[in-house]
Amino acid sequence: MTIAIHESALIRHFNTRKETLRAWEEKIGARFSPFRGFKMPDSRLYVEHPDFLDSIVDLIITNERHIFLRGPVGSGKSTLMLLALRDLPTLADRRGNKFITGYVGMTGLYEKQMSAAIADSLRIKYRRSWESSQIIEAVAQESVRRYIEEKSRTALFIEDVADNQEAAFHKLRYLADLPTEEMKDEYGTTLDEPVVTLVMSGTSMYWNAMLSFLPQIADRTEPLDVPPLNDDKAKEFIGRRLAYARGDIDKFDPDDFSIYPFHDDAIVVLNQASKGNPRDIRMLARGCQQVAAENYKRTGNPDVDVEIATLVATAYEYILKEVR
Ligand SMILES: Nc1ncnc2c1ncn2[C@@H]1O[C@H](COP(=O)(O)OP(=O)(O)OP(=O)(O)O)[C@@H](O)[C@H]1O
Ligand SMILES: [Mg+2]
């Protein structure tokens, strides 16, 4: 009996909370919570980092180094990869080569899974029955063929690269080292530069591990640190999400947008607490929504001011430290 009473009290509590949040959302003209997580985030929510994106793309184009996008969890590594993937197919390098891109987003892969995932991402055919070395050889041959016959280099994006099995790395290394000495002998000057550029992502801990365990790749890889959001970008991050929830995202103007009911100085507090990490800013903004919704219910004022932001940032400080 006691359990039933507790249960209903709990359900009532959650329902009231939901209604409170919903009332706040309605007040600010939102159709859903602006700070909910999306499985497939809409690219219209992305705050661009044009300079950083250019530096990634420039490195790929010059073809001197592989790339390791380095940053803490939630800093935007995957998002930047998607933006670079979007731009590359429209570009060419100084020799006039175009780009074919592949993206491996799964991790925890064994040798064969990695080989198959790479082949799939580059739309290269292989037989299920093949060994991983046969699959990777087919990828190598096709990448070289595309380079020579189609004047296309391959850019292969590998997420959280260190989360894969060690054996999978040797497959990556083989591609990273293409063309082989035999291929160079065979094709001469038509094949005198790397054919596959790797763009990998991971935390700095994994980068350090790669330096010690895979110096052969790491030595030829440029680590690039994902830039944190500055206050203006944090503001745009919030602004885009608010516009999205209002159904106004297509009219979003990065030079002139509203962050109502957020105050400017509240966003500065949130950005500082999250060290410019977009995932953490979203989490904090969600916390602010909850406090502001309770406040709105009591006072009729839906604002997220610096006081609310400070309260939430302080409460989350401990959690953010834990997950980092
Ligand atoms: N530039 C950005 N503009 C808008 N939202 C962003 C941006 N970068 C990241 N985000 C959002 O922040 C969250 C984390 O981003 P993302 O998944 O890209 O980070 P990550 O570094 O790949 O994280 P993980 O280490 O968990 O793989 C996502 O919800 C993403 O949509
Ligand atoms: Mg990621």
CA distance linking residue 122 with residue 28, whole number of Å: 45
Instruction: With cut-offs at 50, 70 and 90, classify the pLDDT of residue 203.
Output: very high
Instruction: With cut-offs at 50, 70 and 90, classify the pLDDT of residue 2.
Output: low
The first and second tokens of residue 234, run together, are: 């944090």
Residues above pLDDT 90, as percent of the chain = 77
> Has residue 131 got a pLDDT over 70?
yes
Q: If you compute the radius of gyration of the chain from its CA atoms, what whole number of angstroms results?
A: 24
CA distance linking residue 109 with residue 171, whole number of Å: 12
* Tokens 């219209």, residue located: 44
Q: What is the pLDDT of residue 3?
A: 59
Residue 289, exposed/middle/buried by CB under 10 A (0-12, 13-18, 19+)?
A: buried
pLDDT tens, residue by residue, 6-55? 667 777 777 888 999 999 999 999 999 999 988 777 889 999 999 999 99
Assess whether the C-beta atom of 254 lies below 6 angstroms from ligand 1.
Answer: no
CA distance linking residue 93 with residue 292, whole number of Å: 51
Nearby residues of 184 by Cβ (< 8 Å), 6 or more positions away: 191, 192
Residue 62, exposed/middle/buried by CB under 10 A (0-12, 13-18, 19+)?
A: exposed
Q: Does residue 153 sit in helix, strand or coil?
A: strand
Residues above pLDDT 70, as percent of the chain = 97
* Tokens 């991050």, residue located: 237
Q: What is the pLDDT of residue 122?
A: 98
The CATH architecture assigned to 50-225 reads 3-Layer(aba) Sandwich (3.40)
- CATH 3.40.50.300 range(s) for the chain read 50-225
Assess whether the C-beta atom of 79 lies below 6 angstroms from ligand 1.
Answer: yes
Residue among 109, 107, 96 nearest 136 (CA): 109
Assess whether the C-beta atom of 278 lies below 6 angstroms from ligand 1.
Answer: yes
Alpha helices, H only, 71-129: 77-87, 111-121
pTM: 0.89
CA of 155 to the centre of ligand 1 (A): 21
Given the DSSP bridges, would you call strands 98-104 and 152-158 parallel, antiparallel or unpaired? parallel
Handedness of CA 162, 214, 67, 281 (dihedral sign): positive
CA of 189 to the centre of ligand 1 (A): 41
Q: What is the pLDDT of residue 324?
A: 58
**Mean pLDDT taken over the chain:** 92
Q: Which atom of ligand 1 is nearest to the CA of 45?
A: 4
Q: What is the pLDDT of residue 1?
A: 52
Instruction: With cut-offs at 50, 70 and 90, classify the pLDDT of residue 4.
Output: low
Bigger pLDDT: 198 vs 42: 198
Residue 317, exposed/middle/buried by CB under 10 A (0-12, 13-18, 19+)?
A: exposed
Q: What is the pLDDT of residue 5?
A: 61
pLDDT tens, residue by residue, 35-47? 998 877 788 999 9
Identify the nearest ligand to the CA of 75 by its number.
1
pLDDT tens, residue by residue, 232-283? 999 999 999 999 999 999 999 999 999 999 999 999 999 999 999 999 999 9
Residues near ion ligand 2 (Cβ under 5 Å): 77-78
CB 304 within 8 A of CB 261: yes
Identify the nearest ligand to the CA of 71 by its number.
1
